[in-house]
A and B are shown apart, each in its own frame.
Chain A
Amino acid sequence: MSEKKVIIDVGDGAAIPRPEDKGLLSAWWLSFVGTLAVLAYLLIFHPDPYLRLLKFLPDGIVVTFQVTIASICLALILGLLAGLGRISRNRIVNLVASTYVEIIRGIPLLVQLFYIYFALGRIVRVPDMVAAIIALGFCYGAYMGEVFRAGIMSIDNGQTEASLSLGFNRSQTMRYVILPQAWRTILPPVGNEFIALLKDTSLVSIIAVSDILRRGREFASESFLYFETYTLIAIIYLLITLILSKFLSNVEQRLSHYERR
């Protein structure tokens, strides 16, 4: 009766430090403390330009998070729809969802970003940030769809049968029985996608969205301090993803309460 615990690990986010994974956990601490040490060293011993640069970037950090959070919300909604569509018995729904996933997965994100930005620009004038969010949301929705699908499929069919036998219909079964359990399997890869998405928001700096990277480029093009700028930007991205991956690992632990004896 012991079901195998499924961990879907999509490799494009960041490594999530799980307590049972001792090697990764100490790697996390090493990276985190090391990064903080380097940051402290730079700010204390080279306040110019690093402190000046650090004061210049917060607006960009806010924008990066705004784009990430809005995109992930869109991606989660599209991903749930795509995932449910991919396992639907309705052929048309299934075909639409599968085609969406196929097309999106076949086009590089940067190309999608340009395409949606300029294509949308021909029809309606949308703010740059909205175009960025739509492009990222649609792209990640397709990947998220596969995560949802795999998570739902990982739940034993006996759960569905038990629910149906009590008188629940298929959508109630999905809502009360399958999704709450699938969420446990889905959360790690979703967290991973969130981190991957946060990193991919750096692409939006190419269209006119003032995220961390674009703010940095603005600073660098005026001061010509390219090395210093990109050093600090790398440190900031790394710190954010390290903190997020630790946070996700904690959430995962709390969600797994019913797996434990």
Chain B
Amino acid sequence: MNVVDPIIKIEHVNTFFGSFQALSDVSLSVHPGEKVVVIGPSGSGKSTLLRTINRLEKISSGSIVVDGHALNDPSQNINKIREEVGMVFQSFNLFRHMTVLENLTLAPVKLRKQQKSQAEKYAMELLAKVGVADKAASYPVQLSGGQQQRVAIARALAMNPAIMLFDEPTSALDPEMIGEVLDVMVTLAREGMTMVVVTHEMGFAREVADKVVFMDGGRILEVAPPDTFFDHPVHERTRAFLKQIL
């Protein structure tokens, strides 16, 4: 797998919020098709790291290269790069004034100049795939949290991104809805999507991840395949964290 170049290359990244250092010398590579799960206590910088990958957070120093485009290069069109990087948020963030179907077709029609009928056809396929095709004409407020999050995944997929970022996608869900969202994510992983997932779902990490990244205090402390990570963690801090949550 490592013979191809990484699709995301993060090198020596530091990020400050005022005087608070959210990321300290973070380096990480993600290869095409790879599934990386980032875990760590809250405030460890894992969401910040994820958000730097599509520049929702700006980095203070270091470099991030996504699919050959350097994010801190001002000549790069960040909007074009973002079209290739889908993102799923903890709070779903569906466009509340649009139906489910319109949520999915907005970007393909406006940004990719797709025909509306063509975009709708693909949107319906995606909605069927995530199991909410019957809600196409509904507004987000009429959907359960689990349904909203599945629509949010479909909305990101509608742009055919090369990479999908998940920022604690199940943290705002009632327990009985977590499974339906994780199932969609597992399916996506099986299909070979490149995924970076910030989550507290250790079962998902074990099942899907190619590598698990543990962060604390803005630093990456440990990167390992899930078996090694969960059964033989090297770092003292990792062991303490796993003990708390498992």
Which residues from chain A sit less than 8 Å from chain B, CB to CB? 1, 156, 158-159, 161-169, 172, 176-177, 180-181, 184, 257-261
A161 to chain B, nearest CB (A): 6
CB neighbours of B107 from chain A (8 A) = 166-168
Interface string of B155-182 (1 = CB under 8 A from A): 1100100000000000010000000000
**Chain A interface main SS type:** helix
Asked if B128 is at the interface (CB within 8 A of a chain A CB), the reply is no
A154 to chain B, nearest CB (A): 12
Contact among A159, A180, A258 for B139, CB-based, below 8 A: A258
B141 & A161 in contact (Cβ 8 Å cutoff): no
Q: Which of B137-155 contact A (CB under 8 A)?
A: 139, 141-142, 145, 152, 155
CB neighbours of B243 from chain A (8 A) = none
Contact among B82, B139, B142, B155 for A167, CB-based, below 8 A: B82
Complex alpha-carbon distance, A1 and B96, angstroms: 12
Which residues from chain B sit less than 8 Å from chain A, CB to CB? 54, 56, 79-80, 82-83, 85-87, 89, 91-98, 106-107, 110-111, 139, 141-142, 145, 152, 155-156, 159, 172
B110 & A258 in contact (Cβ 8 Å cutoff): no
Given A166-B83, A258-B141, A161–B93 Cβ distance below 8 Å? Answer: yes
B95 & A172 in contact (Cβ 8 Å cutoff): no
B172 & A166 in contact (Cβ 8 Å cutoff): no
A167 & B93 in contact (Cβ 8 Å cutoff): no
CB neighbours of A177 from chain B (8 A) = 95
B82 & A180 in contact (Cβ 8 Å cutoff): no
CB neighbours of B54 from chain A (8 A) = 165
A162 & B159 in contact (Cβ 8 Å cutoff): no
Q: Chain A residue with minimal CB distance to B51? A: A161
Given A1-B172, A159-B96, A176-B106, A164–B82 Cβ distance below 8 Å? Answer: yes
Given A165-B87, A168-B79, A261–B141 Cβ distance below 8 Å? Answer: yes
Given A165-B87, A166-B107, A167-B159, A159–B82 Cβ distance below 8 Å? Answer: no
CB neighbours of B141 from chain A (8 A) = 258-261
Contact among B86, B96, B172 for A165, CB-based, below 8 A: B86
CB neighbours of B110 from chain A (8 A) = 168, 172, 176
* Residue in B85, B86, B95 with the greatest tally of chain A CB atoms within 10 Å: B95
Complex alpha-carbon distance, A163 and B145, angstroms: 19
CB neighbours of A167 from chain B (8 A) = 79-80, 82-83, 107, 111, 159
A1 & B97 in contact (Cβ 8 Å cutoff): no
A172 to chain B, nearest CB (A): 7
